[in-house]
Amino acid sequence: MNKDWWKSSAQGIPHLVTPLPGPQSAEMSRKTSRYFKGLSSQVKLFPVCFAEGHGITLTDVDGNRYLDFSSGIYVTSLGHCHPKVSEAVAYWANKLMNCHDFATPVKEKLVEKVANLLPGKLNGIQLYSDGATAVEAGLRAARVITGKHEFISGFRDFHGKTLGAVSCARMARGNVLSYSPTRTAGFYMVPRPDPYRPLFTRPDGSIDTDAYIDFYREFIFEGTAGNVAAFVLEPAQGWAGSIFPPDDFFPKLKKLCDKEKILLLDDEILAGMGRTGEWLCLQHWDTLPDIVTFGKSFGNGFPVTAMIVKEEYSEALEQISASSSYGGNPMACAAALASLEVIEEEDLLQNSRVVGDYLMRRMEKMQQDHPIVGHVKGKGLLLGIELVKDKQSKEPFNKAGELVYQKAFAKGLAWIPAGHILRMSPPLIIDQHHAGLGLDIIEEAIAETEKEFGY
C-alpha cells in the first residue's frame, strides 16, 4: 500500500468555495435538527453537513474542502476511508456480516494479532461495539477478578454514557451526564494531577505526585468500604482537554494498586492505538494495566471496541459472557485487523511522535507569543492549548475557546471544541506540512480573538 494514498485529495486544502457554513450545509443541518435532537457543542457552534472524507480531507455538501484536525472524534486516525480498511470491511459485508460470538477466520486473526502486539501478556479479549460497553465489561471483569465491587476514578475523566461509566465521571456536567441524582453506590472520585493546575504542591510550587498517592491511600481506608476492585482512569484525559499527568504518576499509582490488591483499569479508548505515539499511552511511563479498553481508532470508523485483561485474569472472563449483538462481527474484526496492520505497515506510531514533536515545539513558541495561551500540552498527536484570561490568575477563557474554534472552522479547519482548552487530534497519517498548516490556522484564529478581546 502506497503511504501517500491520501495526498492527491489533500492538495490545496483547505479550499473554500462559499462562506461557511455554506447554503446547502445550513439547509441540511436545519432539516436534520428538526428531528435529530441533542446535538453536541461541536455541531451547534458550527453546523456543517459533510458529504465525503478521504485521508485528511473532508468535503461538505457545498463543495468546501476542510483539513481534518479531529479525526472524526479521535476515530478515523488512519484517515477517512483508508483503502485497506474499507476493502476489508467491504469484503466481509459481502461474505458474512454477523454470527454472534462464534469464531470466524477474521476474528481468529484479530485476537491473535492483538495478543501478540500488546505488552505484558494482555491477552484475555472480549469485543464490543462502543466504548461505554467495553468500559462496562471492564468494570464487570474487575469485579469477578477481585471479588470486590467498589471503583475509584479521577476528576474530569470521561468513560462513556452508560450508567456504570457515568458513575466514573463528573455527575453535574450540564445535561450530558446528569442521568441520575447520585453516583451509583460504590463509585468514588478523587482528584488527579494536572501539572498546570496542581491541587497538591511542594513548597517550590511544583506538583507533588506523592501527595496525590498519599491521599489515595488514605481515601481507600477512610472513604471506601475496603472493597475497591479497581482504579478506572484515562491515561491522559481527552475530553478534559488533553491533560497528561506527571511522569511519575502512573508508576507510583500502580505500586499503590499492587500493594492494596486493587486493579488498574486503563481506559485507552481515546488515547490508545497510537494516538500518543505508543500502542498504549501508559507505555510512556513503563506501566502496564491489569485491564485495558480500546475503541475509537480501533476500527478507524467501523464500530468495534475491546476489553482486554492480563493472561493471569483471563479465565475469570468465563464468568462474564462476551455475548453481544454486534461485538466482534466479521466486518468489525476485519476493520480492526486492517487498522492494526496499517499502523505497523505505515509506521504510524513513529509518525505520530515525529509530527507531534514538531507541533509541540511550535505550540511552545505560541505560548511565549500569545497573552491568552496559558499552557500547551500533549504527546504524539493528542494535543491541547489552554486559553486563559491572564497567565498570572490562569482563569479559564471559555469565550475565547469558543471563538477560536469557530474562527478556525470558518477558515476550513474541522476540529473539536473543549471549553477553554483547544483540542487537536489530527489523523496519524498527517505530514508535517499539513500539520503546520492546521496550526497556522489556529494561531491566526487566536490572534484575531485576542484582538477582539482587546489584548
Dist CA 234 CA 400 (whole Å): 27
* Binding flag, residue 135, ligand PLP (CB under 6 A): yes
- 186, amino acid identity: G
Binders of ligand PLP among 322-351, rule CB under 6 A?
A: none
Q: Which of 10, 48, 106, 269 binds ligand PLP (CB under 6 A)?
A: 269
Choose the binding region for ligand PLP from 222-230, 266-274, 371-379, 438-446 (rule: CB under 6 A): 266-274
* Binding flag, residue 270, ligand PLP (CB under 6 A): yes
H-helix or E-strand containing 402?
Answer: helix 398-410
- 307, amino acid identity: M
Which of residues 130 and 194 has its CB atom nearest to ligand PLP in the complex? Answer: 130
Choose the binding region for ligand PLP from 190-198, 202-210, 215-223, 234-242 (rule: CB under 6 A): 234-242
State the first-to-last Cα distance of the chain, in angstroms, to the nearest integer: 49
Choose the binding region for ligand PLP from 154-162, 173-181, 221-229, 389-397 (rule: CB under 6 A): 154-162
Which of residues 131 and 241 has its CB atom nearest to ligand PLP in the complex? Answer: 131
Which of residues 137 and 437 has its CB atom nearest to ligand PLP in the complex? Answer: 137
> 10, 1, 8: which is closest to 427 by C-alpha?
10
Dist CA 437 CA 61 (whole Å): 23
Choose the binding region for ligand PLP from 158-166, 320-328, 388-396, 437-445 (rule: CB under 6 A): 158-166
- 201, amino acid identity: T
- 435, amino acid identity: A
Choose the binding region for ligand PLP from 94-102, 224-232, 233-241, 424-432 (rule: CB under 6 A): 233-241
CB of 130 to ligand PLP, least distance (A): 4
Nearest-Å Rg of the Cα atoms of the chain is: 22
**Beta strands per DSSP E along 95-237:** 122-128, 150-154, 187-190, 228-233
CB of 237 to ligand PLP, least distance (A): 8
Choose the binding region for ligand PLP from 14-22, 33-41, 125-133, 367-375 (rule: CB under 6 A): 125-133
> Is-contact 130 295, C-beta < 8 A?
yes
Exposed (0-12), middle (13-18) or buried (19+): which is 17, by Cβ within 10 Å?
A: exposed
Sign of CA dihedral 28, 33, 38, 42: positive
Choose the binding region for ligand PLP from 48-56, 87-95, 124-132, 337-345 (rule: CB under 6 A): 124-132
* Binding flag, residue 158, ligand PLP (CB under 6 A): yes
CB of 283 to ligand PLP, least distance (A): 17
* Binding flag, residue 136, ligand PLP (CB under 6 A): no
DSSP 3-state of 54 = strand
* Binding flag, residue 234, ligand PLP (CB under 6 A): yes
Which of residues 130 and 208 has its CB atom nearest to ligand PLP in the complex? Answer: 130
CB of 239 to ligand PLP, least distance (A): 6
Binders of ligand PLP among 40-69, rule CB under 6 A?
A: none
Q: Which of 54, 84, 140, 159 binds ligand PLP (CB under 6 A)?
A: 159
Which of residues 236 and 257 has its CB atom nearest to ligand PLP in the complex? Answer: 236
DSSP 119: S
The DSSP result for 248-287, as a single string, is: THHHHHHHHHHHHT-EEEEE-TTTTTTTTSSSSGGGGGT-
Phi, psi of 438 (to 5 degrees): -60, -45
Locate all alpha helices (DSSP H) within 36-192, ordered by sequence.
Answer: 41-45, 71-74, 83-93, 105-117, 131-146, 163-166
Choose the binding region for ligand PLP from 50-58, 222-230, 263-271, 431-439 (rule: CB under 6 A): 263-271
Which of residues 207 and 233 has its CB atom nearest to ligand PLP in the complex? Answer: 233
Q: Which of 238, 274, 374, 427 binds ligand PLP (CB under 6 A)?
A: 238
Collect contacts of 162-167 with beta carbons under 8 A, ≥24 apart: 162/132, 162/133, 162/135, 162/136, 164/135, 164/136, 164/139, 165/132, 165/135, 165/136
CB of 180 to ligand PLP, least distance (A): 17
Which of residues 46 and 158 has its CB atom nearest to ligand PLP in the complex? Answer: 158
Which of residues 179 and 258 has its CB atom nearest to ligand PLP in the complex? Answer: 179
Helix, strand, coil % (nearest 5) of the chain?
40, 20, 40
Dist CA 39 CA 198 (whole Å): 33
- The number of residues that bind ligand PLP (CB under 6 A) is 14
Which of residues 14 and 272 has its CB atom nearest to ligand PLP in the complex? Answer: 272
CB of 273 to ligand PLP, least distance (A): 12
CB of 430 to ligand PLP, least distance (A): 21
CB of 293 to ligand PLP, least distance (A): 7
374-413 exposure pattern, b = at least 16 Cβ within 10 A, e = fewer: bbbbbbbbbbbbbbbbeeeeeebbeebbbbbbbbbbebbb
Give residue for cell 491520501: 6
Give residues in contact with ligand PLP (CB under 6 A): 130-132, 135, 158-160, 234, 238-239, 267, 269-270, 295
